[in-house]
Amino acid sequence: MSQPSITLESLWEEAGFKPNAEQERAIRHIDGPLYLTAGPGSGKTRVLLWRTVNLIVFEGVQPEHILLSTFTDKAAHQLREGLKNYLGQVTNHTGQAYDLANMYVGTLHSLCQRLLQDRKLNPNYRNGQPLRVLDELQTYFFVARRRNWQQLIEAAGLADLEPMDQHVAINTFFAGNRAGRSRHEAIQNVLSFFGRMSEEMLVPAAVLGHAPDDDTRMLLRMYARYRELLATPGGFDQCDFSLLQQKAYDVLQANPQVQRYFRHVIVDEYQDTNLIQERLVFALAGQQNLCVVGDDDQALYRFRGATVENFVEFPARCLRYLGREPEKIPLNTNYRSRNRVVQFYTDYIGQHNWRKDDHPGEQYRVHDKNITAHSRDQDVSVVCTAAAAPDVVSEELARVVRELLDSGKVEDPNQIAFLFPALRGNSQVERMQLALEAQGLRVYAPRAGRFLDVEEPTLLFGAFLHVFGRPEQGPFTSADYTGYFDWLNEAMAQVRQRFGQEPELKRYLKAKRQEVELAVSDYQALVATCQAQGWDLEAQYDERAMKPALVGTRAASERTRRAVNSVALTHQVRRRLREGSDKPPLKLADILNRVTTLDWTILDLFYRLSGFPTFKRMYDLAESGRDEGPICNLGLVSQYLSRFMEMYSPLLTAGFLHDNQFQRLFFMSFLYTIYRRGESEFENAEDPFPKGRIPFLTIHQSKGLEFPVVVLPNLRKDNRGAGPLERTVRALAPEAEGEPLDRMAGFDIARMFYVALSRAKNLLLLGRYQSQGNHVNREFKPLLDQLPTTASFDVASLAAMRHGEEKPPKAYSYTADYLLYERCPRQYMVFRRYGLVPSRSQTQFFGSLVHYTIEDLHHRLIEKREKATPQP
């Protein structure tokens, strides 16, 4: 095989990449710890990718010895795609192929999960015993289980109180005199506490002595009990998201050789890591080649336990853990935004005081970044409305947006992002939306309200209520409870309103309701027969003795009686009796359930409802390319339905339906929890914002994204001081270093706006509220005074939008994309593009099972052969 000589330079030239001096230095760095401070839009993703390519191609590092981690699954996906692309380019020249299948690319959470299940790295990995990691929603339901919750209450020493007082006792710690009485709030609160304790690696027994008060001691006891409860499942290993990392860390501690497995460890978004992650990262970097990348000015996740000090103090920590200082390379040229945008946000962050009180020469910020824009243009790219009342400002912003679209300066409304510190319960958001709608513009605000309040889920669950019935409303008066019942009623009413135009929908829902009722009454009739015969439902089914009486149950429907008598059932019964059957013989209760189970699941019902005009319209809109919003929401509904089926059961047995058990579990536990948690989180990994609509995002949501136009209608966020968790952690771990409690909230606000301002590529549009009770944050004032106003801004003068070239080319799979699309474009759209969950596809499971097992066999055989013929 000939090896044409390729170099990094020749590859860069081919890819059209011209690194600046710092970028090149970072890419070529191969030895020892590296500290990359990367400002917004500084091309850090490219640098990371090329650095990895350099390691693999020119330094001979095996991909599986590189660990590459980042903050979100989406970012990890992009890194992997980008890497494949660049390495594919190398392969084109050299013929040398690179297999990334075994390379560790992902979030730290997913990497921990993989590490625990990797036989090479985790010697204790138990073959075949799957690890069950409870995600946030599952963790919630785990703690919410009455039996578990009761245990926690006992551990807290609150068992003697009335439930409501128990909740208040817990909530007071978190919300002071604004503490609510609801169990839901108490669960959310203790979960945030548990997560934080785990991430700070605080062991209850060890820190109890430091606890400043009784409440903290109470919560620590609950935490200790929680960990005991988690540790006692059956048949599998179980943990939550936070403890997953501790588990991985324990494996590393116990196996020093694993700490030297990775030759290079690269961690992106390092400013958002927490304590356990820092320890984990240093433990993984036994070979000292640790590269961290980040920007402390863009740290956003303190509320999730992130400690920005991990990044700011990295040189000192490196010295402590690795015994040497890292090389520091600043990536400070911004390629994303126009010159004035960069100047504006750099000035903004400089308005704050970051100096340490006790060491005036030092700062709580990496302050020597010297961020500059690559673009040198002096055109207007930051404009501000005149100071005015919110209504006036909103109208003015909407006018400019309309003009931008009309003038063709912006291709699609989804290129204009409105960013807010918070979307929920924020009256400014609604005001802004109304102003845009008055201009004939539509908004897409996935986290503005409750997902369930959106039209599609409301109608869909409304139809479900017509089938399964609405739960009885109890005498409770909490805002959540009454609000939820208002929503249930509204959902039913909205569906009812359709009945006039769609009588067939009314008839169909009624038919389904009758099926549910019939299944339940048949079940009761069969149970009555069993009782009359004196049979125990838990007894083994004796076909010869029991079948005739069951078939003869007059009160049961013909259909059910036929099912008892069916060949298929007989076959099943006998199969279980056969010797060597891996499952026990069927019980009488199994038979009853089997013959009275509905033909359909909740997902089956979901897809059948899609045939009626109310719902079909949502698919038609996507198919014709007019509006993607509705089908995206349907996709999320299908995912929730699928989760319910995963957590509980896919089947609607009559035993489950009767006594309203299913109804209560579905509406009063599952959906109510989704309602109260304000679940939403629609995010499409590829193409996050539907065309034709203006995205309204929280600043957190906008992290890592960029938009041609960014609008910040309201430049205000009030400083409420450090939260109770921060104070607790500081008390329990007094030796830990960190930002002063009285300054951290101010720092966080500065960083949040910094992130928002730096999302804009071409135009930053700012609103300036000024009226009774409205103002902008102090640091903005001197800056806004210098800006041109929207009134004087001529949209036509705006330079044409540059084409985004940052995105790596997309990869399309032969089978999962091309063949699927060829088979049916619409099927492709529904399942692949919009992620609706199929109801019961078995073929994929089957294929994967065969392929994975054959692959395991091959690996085994290859391994065997390698052992038999040792390398000379």
Site for other proteins in 107-146 (CB under 8 A): 127-128, 130, 132, 141, 144-146
Q: How far apart are CA 305 and CA 279, in angstroms?
A: 14
Which residue, 321 or 499, is less far from other proteins as judged by CB? Answer: 499
Q: Does 847 bind other proteins (CB under 8 A)?
A: yes
Segment near other proteins (CB under 8 A); pick from 70-78, 280-288, 597-605, 711-719: 597-605
> Footprint of other proteins on residues 47-106 (CB under 8 A)?
84-85, 88-89, 91-92, 94-97, 99-101
Write a three-state SS string for 487-540.
HHHHHHHHHHHHHCCCHHHHHHHHHHHHHHHHHHHHHHHHHHHHHHHCCCCCCE
CB under 8 Å, gap of 24 or more: what pairs does 166-171 form?
Answer: 169/218, 170/218, 170/219
Q: Is 830 exposed, middle or buried (0-12, 13-18, 19+ CB in 10 A)?
A: buried
| Residue 443, CA distances (Å) to 431, 439, 809 in order | 12, 11, 29
Q: How far apart are CA 12 and CA 27, in angstroms?
A: 12
Which residue, 320 or 864, is less far from other proteins as judged by CB? Answer: 864
Segment near other proteins (CB under 8 A); pick from 17-25, 355-363, 517-525, 855-863: 855-863
Q: Which of 7, 124, 473, 841 binds other proteins (CB under 8 A)?
A: 841
CB 711 within 8 Å of CB 433: no
Q: For residue 264, which of 65, 80, 70, 120 has the smallest C-alpha distance?
A: 65
Q: Which of 466, 594, 693, 703 binds other proteins (CB under 8 A)?
A: 594
The response to whether 847 counts as a known ligand-binding position is no
Q: Does 607 bind other proteins (CB under 8 A)?
A: yes
Please list, in sequence order, all residues whose beta carbon lies within 8 angstroms of the beta carbon of residue 824, skipping any fewer than 6 positions away: none
Q: Does 6 bind other proteins (CB under 8 A)?
A: no
The response to whether 691 counts as a known ligand-binding position is no
Q: For residue 757, which of 739, 783, 782 has the smallest C-alpha distance?
A: 783
DSSP 433-501: HHHHHHTT--EE-TTTS-GGGSHHHHHHHHHHHHHH-PPPP-S---HHHHHHHHHHHHHHHHHHHHHTT
Which residue, 321 or 612, is less far from other proteins as judged by CB? Answer: 612
Q: Which two tokens stand for residue 650?
A: 């896919």
Report, in Å, the least distance between residue 43 CB and other proteins. Answer: 19
The response to whether 534 counts as a known ligand-binding position is no
The response to whether 70 counts as a known ligand-binding position is no
Q: Which of 231, 320, 389, 845 binds other proteins (CB under 8 A)?
A: 845
Q: Which of 583, 720, 734, 867 binds other proteins (CB under 8 A)?
A: 583
Q: Which of 347, 412, 604, 679 binds other proteins (CB under 8 A)?
A: 604
Encoded one letter per residue, x for contact with other proteins by CB under 8 A and - for no contact, window 808-827 reads -xxxxxxx-xxx-xxxxxxx
Please name the amino acid found at residue 266: I
Q: Which residue has the tokens 């799957």?
A: 130
Which residue, 777 or 839, is less far from other proteins as judged by CB? Answer: 839
Which residue, 194 or 607, is less far from other proteins as judged by CB? Answer: 607
Encoded one letter per residue, x for contact with other proteins by CB under 8 A and - for no contact, window 619-638 reads xx-xx-x-------------
Report, in Å, the least distance between residue 621 CB and other proteins. Answer: 11
Q: How far apart are CA 357 and CA 763, in angstroms?
A: 37
Q: Does 160 bind other proteins (CB under 8 A)?
A: no
Q: Does 350 bind other proteins (CB under 8 A)?
A: no
Report, in Å, the least distance between residue 648 CB and other proteins. Answer: 6
Helix axes 183-199, 724-732, angle to 10 degrees: 40
The response to whether 39 counts as a known ligand-binding position is yes
Report, in Å, the least distance between residue 93 CB and other proteins. Answer: 9
DSSP 353-410: --B-SS-TT-BSS------EES----S--EEEPPSB-HHHHHHHHHHHHHHHHHTTSS
| Residue 820, CA distances (Å) to 77, 374, 810, 826 in order | 21, 43, 17, 10
3-state secondary structure of 326: coil
> Footprint of other proteins on residues 469-508 (CB under 8 A)?
504, 507-508
Which residue, 623 or 785, is less far from other proteins as judged by CB? Answer: 623
CB 631 within 8 Å of CB 834: yes
CB 421 within 8 Å of CB 464: no
Encoded one letter per residue, x for contact with other proteins by CB under 8 A and - for no contact, window 196-225 reads ------------------------------
Total residue count of the chain as it appears in this document: 872
Encoded one letter per residue, x for contact with other proteins by CB under 8 A and - for no contact, window 534-573 reads --------------------------------x-xx-xx-
Which residue, 439 or 669, is less far from other proteins as judged by CB? Answer: 669
Which residue, 62 or 353, is less far from other proteins as judged by CB? Answer: 62
Q: What is the DSSP letter of 268?
A: S
Q: Does 315 bind other proteins (CB under 8 A)?
A: no
- Residues binding other proteins: number (CB under 8 A): 121
Which residue, 127 or 797, is less far from other proteins as judged by CB? Answer: 127
Q: Which two tokens stand for residue 106?
A: 């992902």
The response to whether 40 counts as a known ligand-binding position is yes
Q: Does 642 bind other proteins (CB under 8 A)?
A: yes
Which residue, 2 or 5, is less far from other proteins as judged by CB? Answer: 2
Q: For residue 724, which of 179, 276, 209 has the smallest C-alpha distance?
A: 179
Which residue, 202 or 526, is less far from other proteins as judged by CB? Answer: 526
Q: Which residue has the tokens 């102003």?
A: 435
Q: How far apart are CA 708 and CA 764, in angstroms?
A: 9
Q: Which residues pair with 239 in a beta bridge?
A: 133
Q: Which two tokens stand for residue 756?
A: 């928002």
Q: Which two tokens stand for residue 5?
A: 């000589």
Q: Does 854 bind other proteins (CB under 8 A)?
A: yes
CB 385 within 8 Å of CB 420: no
Report, in Å, the least distance between residue 222 CB and other proteins. Answer: 19
Q: Which of 359, 554, 865, 867 binds other proteins (CB under 8 A)?
A: 865
The response to whether 45 counts as a known ligand-binding position is yes
Q: Does 281 bind other proteins (CB under 8 A)?
A: no
Which residue, 2 or 427, is less far from other proteins as judged by CB? Answer: 2
Report, in Å, the least distance between residue 417 CB and other proteins. Answer: 21
> Footprint of other proteins on residues 648-667 (CB under 8 A)?
648-651, 653, 655-656, 661-662, 664-665
Which residue, 797 or 815, is less far from other proteins as judged by CB? Answer: 815
Report, in Å, the least distance between residue 790 CB and other proteins. Answer: 34
The response to whether 44 counts as a known ligand-binding position is yes
Segment near other proteins (CB under 8 A); pick from 43-51, 170-178, 381-389, 591-599: 591-599
Q: Which of 647, 736, 741, 791 binds other proteins (CB under 8 A)?
A: 647
CB 484 within 8 Å of CB 441: no
Report, in Å, the least distance between residue 608 CB and other proteins. Answer: 5
Binding residues for ATP: 38-45
